[in-house]
Each structure stands twice: as structure tokens, then as C-alpha cells.
Structure 1
Amino acid sequence: MKIHTSKLTSAFLTSVMLSLLAVSAHAAVLQSAFGDPYQAIPGVAAAQSQVVYYRPGTPGQKAEPAFVYIDKEFHTGLLPGGYTVFCLAPGRHGLSAVLDDAPRYGGKRVQPGVRLEPGKTQFIRVSEAGSLEPQLVSREAAEQELAGTRRQMHVLSRATVQSCEYVKQPEVQRYTLSSDVLFGFAKSAYEDIREDGRKEFAELLRKLGRDDLQVNQIEVVGHTDPIGSVPYNDALGLRRAQTVRQLLIDSGIAPQHINARSEGSRQQVTGNCSGSRAAQIACHAPDRRVVVEVTASGEK
């Protein structure tokens, strides 16, 4: 039987590397373990799917690494404040980030499946609770958490990934309006818009003019807090998005360029809020928002 010593040596070194990575978690984390700070990730070609796996926190924070596996192959060990980017062929793939996995490395044997869409970028957050199920996060919420993180650089990937083929994307500007400023709590109608809400909308129009964009499409997305049922929040988010859409039409933007939809409470930007109902309402205020996404071809 022919023995491939190079593969055995590589596998052995990888095993040693992972063990040292786990053991050294309580030692000081060198800044050389991290690369460039996070910047907005461009889109990829339709023949690929892109994944941004990240772990919120501060680079240099002491913690056990979260071993990231791709289709049962080791990719990297994410420390707090670290992220990694890779591309795969579209379709279903096994993805997981496992805490306390050494020395058995069982995470690579049992992996949840995630379907990756062609030409799309999926953001996935490491679960500090130890869940193997990938925590899928919207770009908007993920990039808030990714601010200040840095690319993880300290280990060599053993996973089969592709070099990402980036394509030039239309510019997308996002403007966030506070629902609490636009409307009273649980309100959504045109006649419910408050005076300070009209001032905030006027400021949005000034920003659109100041950014001097050649608008191709506007997506108005309504978001709610998790208080109430899912159907109720979906409907409330849509009504608020439709009201803002009408305001944009009234300002002179052609209706065929504006779409309204709701994400309900599925893209929260707050953590777990507890206490009395009043305390929860106050805590979840950032979740109640209307996001205006302007896709533009550039300057006028």
C-alpha cells in the first residue's frame, strides 16, 4: 500500500496547529493573528456564493476559538472580533462554527446544511451559546456588528473554497428612519405621521439631493420590534413601508421606481430585552425603523 507522506504530514501539522490554537486561548492574543479591518464586501458573480463568517467582539480578547468547518473541512479558528470571507459553488453546503471542539474535532462530522444562492452574500454569526445551527444575519445587522472587527489570519485553511470573483455592483445607499419618530407606537397610517417625523423625512430628501445619485430603484423596508405576533409585525412593517413609499411619491419620485416590503421583527438590531412591557418597548426602540435602500448607477 502506497503511503502519501505529504498528506499525512499536512494532516498531522493541521491537528497540532488546532490543538495549539485551543490551548493558547488563555494566553495573550497577538495582533498579528488579525489582518485588515472589515470593509463592505462587494458582490460576487452569479456562478458563486459568498459567505462572511464572523464573531462579534474586540480583536485581542481572550477566548476559545470557534472552529469553522466547510463541508467537514477545517477553515479557520475565529476569535472574538475576527471574520473570514470565502466563496463556494451555489447550492447546499455544510457550515458550522464550533466552540470547545478540540481535541475530538467532532464539529466537522456533524454539520447543518445551508443553501447558498447564486450571486448572493450570506452573513453568518458565531453562536456563543454553542449552537451548531448557523445564525444567518442580514447585511444591515451584520455590518453593524462587523464594525471594528478584523480579518482572521493566523491559520491556514484546509477547506475547498474558491477564489471570489467580484463584480461591479450598483451603488446602494441606506437611510434609516426611526419609526418612533415617524409614527406613534403601533401607528402606521399617513395621517399618523408626527410633526417631528415629517421633519426627519424632509431631512432624508435633503440627503438624497446632497448625495446627488442617479436613482435606479428604491426599496422601502419596514422593521418592527418582536413585541406582538409574527403576522401582526409583518403587517405593521408593511403598512409603515407603504406610508413612507407614498411620501416619496408625493415628493416627486416615480412610483414604478419604489417598492415597499416588510421584514417584520426578523432583523433585530438589539439583543434580548427584558423587564416590564414599558422597559421592553424602550429597549427595542432601535428595532422599530424604516430603511430606505437607494440603488443608484452613480452621480447625476
Structure 2
Amino acid sequence: MKNKLIGALCAVLVLPSAAMAARIQQTDLFGEPYRAALQVGSDQAQVVYYRLGVPGEKFGAANIYIDEEFHTGLLPGGYTVFCLAPGSHGMSAVLRDAPAYAGKHDQPKLQFEAGKTQFLRVGENGENQPLAVPREQAEQELANNLRQVHVLSRASAVQSCKYVHQPQERSYSLSSDVLFGFGKASYEDIREDGRRDVGSLVRRLHKENVRIDKIEVVGHTDRIGRGAANEALGLRRAQTVRQLLIDNGLAPESISARSAGSRMPVTQGCRGDRKALIACYAPDRRVVIHLKGLSEQ
């Protein structure tokens, strides 16, 4: 009966269209978008476990086990945040695990440091071993993920996180295809949709009445073309978006711009001719705005 209950909770639907994929975000499968992980106290370790993809785009959950106990079933585009006592814990994400749920017994042991946050990503090739990801890369990949909320954790090691009160950080990812035409980067090239998105973000920040210590704008490209050219394109796009933020009323001395080029892709397995690659690589083409040191005024 217990296995059947867990199986029912972890079941997901095959969604055949982009419209239906958008609708799944409004159901009880997902919660709020990812926001930068806060600092936990010295008696806890924090874990952000996530899965690449778009919410609702594929079939199948990756069952997350902690010390051989079920925590959640991560769908593509989902994430979970939880805290543990510092030290050694078994941790795994298992695909195609129903109905036996035997994957919980085959867990690597990981060390979790007090006061630190560890970012782990689900492997999509059948490996149970979590993929440790540096914070900067992880938060780029998490920019459009939604919190997984459809299953209650059964892992006794999981604790409610106790956060140290400190200024927050947020990241907003803007599609370069919305901001610019393919290969474009100048101020004159910014599309109206892109101008509206940036303006809407600035108005939201003013409405929330928050103080921002630093803003970093990072331009990302796809893997088409030479590395040096992609670095230059990413920088030009970041500089253009920086200027747009200034034009919308943000202080220029607090805003920096840099390029990540094609070094931090979020897509996997793209193949085909140039047209197919351009379409597949679309999520890689983005400008990310990092807001650091947010606090109430």
C-alpha cells in the first residue's frame, strides 16, 4: 500500500504541447521560481537539488533519496531546497525507480559542511551519483526552475532551514532572443519586448522599495561560432542591457557587465543542421541580471 501511495504521488502526465507545459506550472506540482539560496547557520548544511529542463516538458520523475528515505520526485525544471545536520549523508536521484523503489539502497555518501550550501544536479543518464555544481553555474541553470511541491518528504534527516539574516541575492534571466535578433547586440537592436521586460523588472524593484548594493549583468551565447567571437558578443549584449537598466533609472556606478560567452550552456544533446542547432540552443542565449545585497530601505 505504501509503495502504491508513493507511486501515485510521484506520477506525472505526458504533456504534448507547449501550452500544456505552461499550464502545469499553475498546478500543485510546482511552487515559486528559484531565488538565490540564503545563508544557513553553523549548525546546518543546506542542499539545493535540481533538475535541468522546462517544467512539464518530459515524462518521468527522478526520485530523491536521503539516507535511504524518500524525499521528493524531481520533474524536469524542478528544484528542492532542504537542510541537514552537517556530516555524512547518503544522497541519490534515481530515474525509472517505480514500483520497487530499490534505488534508495544504492547511495553514495557525501560530506556536507556546516554553514555551507551544496548545489546538486540530477544526472540524466541513469547514474545515481549527484552532480556537484559550482554555485554560479547552478544559479544560472536554476534561473527558470520552479520549486517541486507535489510530494511531502519522508526523509527523517531533512530539517527546516534556519537562515542567518543578511542581504539577499536574486537573479533574473532574460532570453537573448527576446532582447535581440540572432547575432545582434547593439542598443538599436533591442526589441520592444526586451525593452518592456527590462522596464518591468526595474519598476518591480522600485515598487518593492529595496536597496541594491551591486548589479552584475552577464551575457551568455550559444556554442555556434568561435569562442572569442562569442565572448565579445556576450559582453556587448551585457553592456547594452546595462545601459538599458541605467536608462530606466538605476544608478550606473552600481552596475557592471561581463561575458560568460558559451562557457555555461544549459542545453544538452543538441544535434542537426545549423537551423536545428539555433533552435535547440535558444535557452543558452540569455542575459542574466544578478542583484546582490538586497535589503529593505
Give the TM interval when normalised to the shorter protein. Answer: 0.5 to 0.7
Quickly say closer, same or farther: Cα 1:196–1:151, change in 2 above 3 A: same
1:155 correspondence with 2:151: no
- Secondary structure at the counterpart of residue 275 of structure 1: coil
Q: In structure 2, what residue type is equivalent to 1:44?
A: Q
Which moved further from structure 2: 231-240 or 276-285?
231-240
After TM superposition, the structure 1 = structure 2 runs for residues 1-300 of structure 1, keeping only pairs within 5 Å, are 21=3, 24=4, 29-30=8-9, 37-39=30-32, 40=34, 43-45=38-40, 47=42, 48-54=44-50, 66-69=63-66, 73-76=67-70, 78-81=72-75, 84-88=80-84, 95-99=91-95, 100=97, 103=102, 107-108=106-107, 110-111=108-109, 118-120=115-117, 122=119, 124-135=120-131, 136=133, 138-139=138-139, 141-142=141-142, 144-146=144-146, 149-150=148-149, 152-153=151-152, 155-157=154-156, 159=157, 163-170=160-167, 172=169, 174-188=171-185, 192-197=186-191, 200-201=194-195, 204-205=198-199, 207-209=201-203, 211-212=205-206, 213=209, 214-228=211-225, 233-249=230-246, 253-265=250-262, 267-270=264-267, 272-295=269-292, 296-298=294-296
Deviation at 1:46, TM superposition (A): 5.0
Kept after mapping to 1: 8 A contact 2:41/2:164: no
Q: In structure 2, what residue type is equivalent to 1:38?
A: G
Which moved further from structure 2: 192-201 or 208-217?
192-201
- Secondary structure at the counterpart of residue 144 of structure 1: coil
Q: In structure 2, what residue type is equivalent to 1:259?
A: S
Deviation at 1:277, TM superposition (A): 0.7
CA distance in 1, matches of 2:8, 2:117: 33
Query: If the length of structure 1 is used for normalisation, what is the TM-score?
Result: 0.63
Larger radius of gyration: 1
Tell me the equivalent position of 1:4. none
CA distance in 1, matches of 2:104, 2:169: 41
Kept after mapping to 1: 8 A contact 2:68/2:104: no
CA distance in 2, matches of 1:238, 1:117: 37
- Secondary structure at the counterpart of residue 185 of structure 1: coil
Kept after mapping to 2: 8 A contact 1:138/1:267: no
CA distance in 1, matches of 2:70, 2:83: 14
How many residue pairs match? The answer is 263
- Secondary structure at the counterpart of residue 280 of structure 1: helix
CA distance in 2, matches of 1:195, 1:224: 16
**Deviation by residue 1:29-77 (Cα, 9 ceiling, x = unmatched):** 0489xx9853356513253441133467989x996863524xxx32425
Q: Structure 1: 5+ residue runs without aligned partners?
A: 1-16
- Secondary structure at the counterpart of residue 155 of structure 1: coil
Query: If the length of structure 2 is used for normalisation, what is the TM-score?
Result: 0.64
Kept after mapping to 2: 8 A contact 1:97/1:126: yes
Tell me the equivalent position of 1:5. none
Kept after mapping to 2: 8 A contact 1:98/1:107: no
- Secondary structure at the counterpart of residue 138 of structure 1: helix
